[in-house]
Structure 1
Amino acid sequence: MATDLTTELKVLRPEQWDEWWEHLVRAFGEGPSPQERELDRSRTEFGRSLGAWDGDELVGTAGAFSFRMTVPGGALVPTAGVTMVSVSATHRRRGVLTSMMRRQLEDVRALGEPLAALTASEPAIYGRFGYGVAAIGLGAEIDTARVALSVPPGTDAVRLRYAAPEAVLDACEAVYARTVAGRPGMLARGPGWERAALLDSERRRRGASPLQCVVAERDGVTVGYARFRVRPSWEEGSAEGTVVLSDLAALDAASGAALWRFLFGIDLTSTLSVRARPVDDAWQYLVSDVRRCRLRLQDALYLRPVDVGAALAARTYQTPVDVVFEVQDAFCPWNTGRWRLSGDAKGASCERTADPADLALSVRELGSVYLGGVPLAGLGAAGRVRELREGALAEASVAFGSAVAPWLPHGF
């Protein structure tokens, strides 16, 4: 890869946003609606957005959102949500992306954020910058004409009603907010982020109906919701429509089951299409025939510690752990070296040490295991973690686990 010495990185100015955004549109080949464009502009953090310029020509973009992410133990940890990354096809393999990623991580460190996260349009890109797959999304195409649900006690006591998505937005967002602390990887949404769930352009519909919403209530209080579209289809006179789930959240098992049962039973449909759900999503354990659900998995969240000590100290651990890591981080050299992690279910500390290492790995592997969804032992079996003290790998792998699977509820 050649180094492009003519490219200059600059912080984005508001008057440059239109050009910056149009560069993204061209790079991704999409035509967002005016509503999507306005939402993107309102969420842009100009001080965290970069443009790469070759003279007067914009040739690269990168941005970040200021998030707080739930980690094992329930703490909300400041996290840079890396986004809006693009490089002109005319300037590929000239070091533009590398320079933006390096500058961005230096800025993240300066802001004191221990973690950086992203979703990848191309999975092969970000490993070399220290990002590892930390959460998987579950998808399914459920044959609702042949798959039944066995629901828990109390489901029939939950009241469901249709509501205009805009009219119940605040109530639904309150439900979402109450679920955030319970699952690693979830994001505490700041003002304005809730409106992304209401975007309803023709591009998003893909031939389906306008967005619909059903809320679950108990004693007049909203305890869950589902947003979805219906894509009609008729085969030889028989209705074969598809329910396309957008998002669903519930505060208890019965409320969640009531919503899933509703989605399974919508008239004139025979398929429920689900994507990017937690891999331990509850509906899987209610269905009569999981084979007819056509499950699929896809990488969802990529994570990397920007400050290894602060990141590992911010979460808790399932079992007591006292382990020394030998960490390699060529891209953020301040992380390279030995770190002693001591922790349990109540808290942890992680400090530099000169003690002998128990496990050797790169920061990419630490990113993968950080939320508890990828086992250290699995990475060890793949040769990506080296055990230097017998028994250390198994001990640490159990400690790093999570009682619930990590999940990224939406992209950014």
Structure 2
Amino acid sequence: MTTELQPLRWTEWDAWFDTLDVAFGGVADSSERRAWWREITEIDRMMAVREGAATVATGGAFSFGLTVPGGAELPVAGVTAVCVLPTHRRRGVLRSMMRHQLTDVHERGEALAVLTASEPAIYGRFGYGAATRELRMTVDTVRLAAPELPGVDGVRLRLVDPVAAVPDCERVYAQLVPERPGMLARRPGWERQGVLDPESERDGAGMLQCVLAEVDGEVRGYARYAVKPEWGGAGPNGQVRVRQIDALDPVAYAALWRYLFGIDLTASVAVRGRPVDDPLPLLVADQRRCRLGVREALFLRPVDVGAALAARTYRTPVEVVLEVADDFCPWNAGRWRLAGDEKGAVCERTADPADLALSVGELGSAYLGGVSLTALARAGLVRELRPGALAAATLAFGSDVAPWLPHGF
């Protein structure tokens, strides 16, 4: 039988989602999470590959705003729900879906597509490059003193119902979005992701809790967490598992961590998905006791090279001609003249000789300023064709703060 790529209809959503569950190991989502996925589904952006009446592959996207260097919010496609059943792999099904999707993204006028990868090796073939990294920490709160900064005693900490506190937390989050490349401006419904708390997903931890940090009645930060109790021969050895923590200033941030360090019956705090320049390791006396780990997070692909490069600003003035290779989206391939500074940029087609040569995937990695063009060149992935162009472009593309993806999608 032949396969056919089709848009998803609401009447087919349950069978479509069942296919996703099977492809990702056969463990079904909780009813609470499944209902939320259905609620946020943008049906006009989802697709299915069918063989007869059976769904054998899925794919889709969400609409987000993404902060780019300079603070602008750029509409992006957040690629999601991509799977192919084992019975239909190595038949070109995934390639067909990716080509269809990128054409659609281009026609919608979105200059970038982004995703998180269950298997990163897959998506380089389609022009996605790892653009952000995330930090994991498991902090020994027995041997490390809690963070202290002048003023933390003036921060009021209030334990609240996580769902009731969503509006306060969202106001904090929204103020942070323009300050860091890679952050997502969330569409309605996404604010609930952080407070989903089905018991089947707790892994032995207790219910979700939320603490607000207030100064003069204003919420300046929040932390969502759960405690996993554990007891050993020497007594309590529980762990505080932080799901999200955000603050508008260093003092509120330190006050939240001091609270988390001091929760009774615990010996460690674990957190994942933090920016690689997170202040916590600098607020404690011994970073080795933080057990740091780093991995890639957001993968980014320029879908319209000219529009993407013109949408961000540059840390220093730059004028460079880029020779971009893009076999998958041929409208991107060729030479582009980029001229920009901290105020703005222009990027247009040119016939002038190239200064740097790279693939669209390497351009995606460098786009948010988290991966150095020089580092890519040392790996043999960027070629310098005009002496001095690489150093100048590397400095211009950089970011004062590490790009960061705050949550998955």
- Output the TM-score relative to the length of structure 2: 0.99
Shift of 1:56: 2.0
In structure 2, C-alpha distance between the alignment counterparts of 1:355 and 1:173, rounded to whole Å:
47
- Unpaired segments ≥5 residues, structure 1: none
In structure 2, C-alpha distance between the alignment counterparts of 1:380 and 1:149, rounded to whole Å:
41
Matched, 1:25 2:29: no
Matched, 1:255 2:281: no
Matched, 1:77 2:77: no
Shift of 1:204: 2.3
- Unpaired segments ≥5 residues, structure 2: none
In structure 2, C-alpha distance between the alignment counterparts of 1:218 and 1:43, rounded to whole Å:
34
> Which residue type is aligned with residue 300 of structure 1?
A
Contact in 1 for aligned 2:137/2:270 (Cα 8 Å): yes
> Which residue type is aligned with residue 63 of structure 2?
S
Structure-1 residue corresponding to 2:277: 280
Task: Summarize the alignment of residues 271-310 of structure 1 with structure 2, pairs less than 5 Å apart.
Answer: 271-310=268-307
Shift of 1:310: 0.2
Identify the range of structure 1 (236-245 vs 73-82) with the bigger mean alpha-carbon deviation.
Answer: 236-245
In structure 2, C-alpha distance between the alignment counterparts of 1:389 and 1:149, rounded to whole Å:
51
In structure 1, C-alpha distance between the alignment counterparts of 2:173 and 2:134, rounded to whole Å:
18
Structure-2 residue corresponding to 1:367: 364
Structure-2 residue corresponding to 1:314: 311
Structure-2 residue corresponding to 1:354: 351
Structure-2 residue corresponding to 1:378: 375
Structure-1 residue corresponding to 2:330: 333
- Output the TM-score relative to the length of structure 1: 0.98
Structure 1 vs Structure 2 CA RMSD: 0.9
- Report Cα offsets for 1:365-395 as digits up to 9, x if no partner: 0000000000000000110000000010010
Shift of 1:265: 1.2
**Structure 1 vs Structure 2: percent identity of aligned residues?**
62
> Which residue type is aligned with residue 403 of structure 2?
P
Structure-2 residue corresponding to 1:398: 395
In structure 1, C-alpha distance between the alignment counterparts of 2:249 and 2:386, rounded to whole Å:
43
Structure-2 residue corresponding to 1:66: 63
Structure-2 residue corresponding to 1:194: 191
Shift of 1:292: 1.1
Shift of 1:237: 4.3
In structure 2, C-alpha distance between the alignment counterparts of 1:241 and 1:19, rounded to whole Å:
40
Aligned length: 408
SS of the residue corresponding to residue 206 of structure 1 reads coil
- Report Cα offsets for 1:95-140 as digits up to 9, x if no partner: 1101000000000000000000000001111000000000001001
> Which residue type is aligned with residue 13 of structure 1?
R
Contact in 1 for aligned 2:147/2:255 (Cα 8 Å): no
In structure 2, C-alpha distance between the alignment counterparts of 1:331 and 1:284, rounded to whole Å:
41
Structure 1 runs of 4+ with >4 Å offset:
none
- Report Cα offsets for 1:50-102 as digits up to 9, x if no partner: 10112222110001001110000000001000000010110011111010000
Closer, same or farther: CA 233–169 of 1 in aligned 2, 3 Å: same
- Report Cα offsets for 1:11-43 as digits up to 9, x if no partner: 101101010000001111232111111110111
Matched, 1:217 2:211: no
Structure-2 residue corresponding to 1:167: 164
Structure-2 residue corresponding to 1:112: 109
Contact in 2 for aligned 1:215/1:224 (Cα 8 Å): yes
SS of the residue corresponding to residue 184 of structure 2 reads coil
Task: Summarize the alignment of residues 223-262 of structure 1 with structure 2, pairs less than 5 Å apart.
Answer: 223-262=220-259
Shift of 1:298: 1.1
